Structure 1
Amino acid sequence: MKPETEDLASRIRVALRNEQNLSERNMFGGVCFMLNGNMLCGASNTGNLLLRVGAEREADARTKPHTTEMNFTGRPMRGYIYVMPPGFADDQDLAKWLATAKEFVCGLPPK
């Protein structure tokens, strides 16, 4: 794993250290974090933060600086976004993004 991917994954682990039912899985060329069996976020191999925000919140999330569509396979994945490193440069920004993803994912049934 690239150093920037591992650095981001470490920051996510710290930010989510008190979450119950959190697991990790290697996906999308990086590491993804699952909450109650549902994908929450990830550290991509490009150093971007991958977030699951839901299809209805995606357009709003993409109006924020340093965001782009998640396009891993050549086609955009609905309900997911990438946040580029300047968008989560400090831990407060990272925590805000993770809270956005948690708000959506906590509304999903556990797997």
Structure 2
Amino acid sequence: MPYDRELADRLRAVLGGWDERHDGADEAEDLGIVDEKPMFGGLGFMVAGHLAVCASSHGGLLVRVDPSDQDALVAADGVEPMRMAGRPSRSWVEVSPDALADDEVLTTWVQRGVAAARIAPRR
């Protein structure tokens, strides 16, 4: 199943509107180039050279998170650890499509993914 194109468009709107919300006044708020890359059957959005969020092939949103926040995040309805080869990830969660109906909620998840991508170790 391909990724949800409507979700991908919503992600583009959130990431594309970032500069408008932060008006470039703070260099730390500058996302730099946001790259889109097909991955895992979905569409990933790279920030600062790291994958931040991904429109999943399951219809939801994959979000990079700080591992210390994951337990609290998965306590919410519609959020669970992402599974890769059957094993739960400590630094990624999957948010169900039902939990993303509100644009404000989507924006919060994207912000969380961007923040985690910025502090990810450089390769």
* TM tier, smaller: 0.7 to 0.9
% identity of equivalent residues: 31
Pick aligned residue for 1:69 from 81, 98, 105: 81
* RMSD of Structure 2 on Structure 1 (CA): 1.7
The offset of 1:30, in angstroms, is: 0.4
Residue range with higher mean Cα deviation, 4-13 or 44-53: 4-13
Report if the CA contact (8 A) 1:62-1:69 is conserved: yes
Question: Partners of 2:61 and 2:105 in 1: how far apart?
Answer: 11
Task: Name the count of aligned residue pairs.
Answer: 110
TM-score, length-scaled by structure 1 = 0.88
Greater CA radius of gyration, 1 or 2?
2
2:56 is the counterpart of 1:57: no
Contact 1:28 1:72 in 2 (8 A): no
User: 4+ residue stretches of structure 1 with deviation over 4 A?
Assistant: none
CA distance in 1, matches of 2:39, 2:102: 25
Q: CA deviation at 1:100?
A: 1.5
Q: Give a deviation string over 1:60-107, Cα, whole Å, max 9, x none.
A: 111122101101322112210000012110111100111112222222
- Which ranges in structure 1 are unaligned for 5 or more consecutive residues? none
User: TM-score scaled to structure 2, two decimals?
Assistant: 0.80
Which moved further from structure 2: 17-26 or 47-56? Answer: 17-26
Equivalent residue for 1:42, pick from 47, 54, 59: 54
1:84, 1:94 → 2: CA distance? 11
